Amino acid sequence: MTQAFHNRSVLRIATRKSPLALWQATHVGSLLQNVLPNISIEYVKRVTEGDRLLESRLADKGGKGLFVKELEIALTYKEADLAVHSMKDVPMSLPDGFALSAILKRAAVEDALVSLNNYNLVTLPPNARIGTSSLRRQTQLLALRPDLRIEPIRGNVQTRLNLLNNKGFDAIILAQAGLERLQIQGYDIVLIDPMDSVPAVGQGAIGIEIRADDAELHEFLMQHLNHSETALAVIAERRLNLALGGGCQFPIAGHATWQDQQLSLNGVVGNSIGYLLRAQAEEQFSTDVFNASHIKQAEQLGERVAGLLQRQGANQLIQDVKSELSKSDLSQTSPE
């Protein structure tokens, strides 16, 4: 057992109750157990407000922050020591008193077209009916196939698959990382090129949130669980979104990739009818070490790509989408 944990016998992990959230939490638990075999791992399971509001307009109720709030409450009252999240569901700014302490190595980042007929974006029939509640996915799909009929679907992965089976959709769109983690079988799954459907900020990455004052736990998680390249990529993506003033529920996409020691960030802003703005920039790093200097570089990269998009008119486009959301059911977004 490490010196930092000499007074701890238990680590409690806060998690939502969905199968995917539980997989992520137990994955983190197993990683912790490997390093700390003498510490017990307990799971604090919560149903979040976002889980309850299946028919509500989440953008009006607080967006995806509703999927982490109850977990943060468990941290606040010391009912849990850490909370595990899909990074694409974490609001761009955390409340005071909380910190993202580690981001695990990224899994598959792509969106996946899931069907029963081995469709891809080219072979989908004219006017195909596609299920997704993500405006990010909708705008990019319509840019490629304006004929598609995009309809909202909500619920966990299995609920959405059941809608594909029973509600007449030609295909639905899900994150490949979730399909892999849940070992989904029995469906035709075709990956969408991340240049055609630029992923959500943080997609494929798992993050660990803690109380900001838990210095020992922060140091331990940084040392043993944080993956430097993924963390810097996700920081750049999140700063892009934050600089644009958007949130998880708006059609803003960002995907950062490494080539040797260069981080490249691809950003997209769109609207509900498939109009897209695109920008890309790169930042050279001396090493892939996770330190304050490199964090600043990653943040600057996100701000630079946001600036390129703003010069193309991104601010007005986002404002128009916000106005549209306030008047329509497009705000019924959910974790992708």
Structural tokens at position 26 = 């137990």
109 φ, ψ (degrees, to nearest 5): -100, -15
Dist. CA 131–CA 110, nearest whole Å: 17
Tokens 């090493």 label which residue? 287
Q: And the tokens for 192? A: 């969408």
Burial class (CB in 10 A: 0-12, 13-18, 19+), 327: exposed
Nearest of 273, 104, 286 to residue 202 by alpha carbon:
104
Torsion over CA of 16, 18, 23 and 26, rounded to 10 degrees? 40
Amino acid at 56: S
60 is catalytic: no
For the chain, how big is the Rg over CA atoms in Å? Answer: 20
Q: Smallest Cα–Cα separation from 175: which of 195, 189, 154?
A: 189
Active-site position among 51, 60, 81, 89: 89
Residues 114/174, Cβ–Cβ less than 8 Å: yes
Residue 64 C-alpha from the chain's centroid: 10
CA atoms of 131 and 117, how far apart (whole Å): 15
22 and 44 Cβ atoms separated by less than 8 Å: no
Task: Enumerate the active-site residues.
Answer: 89
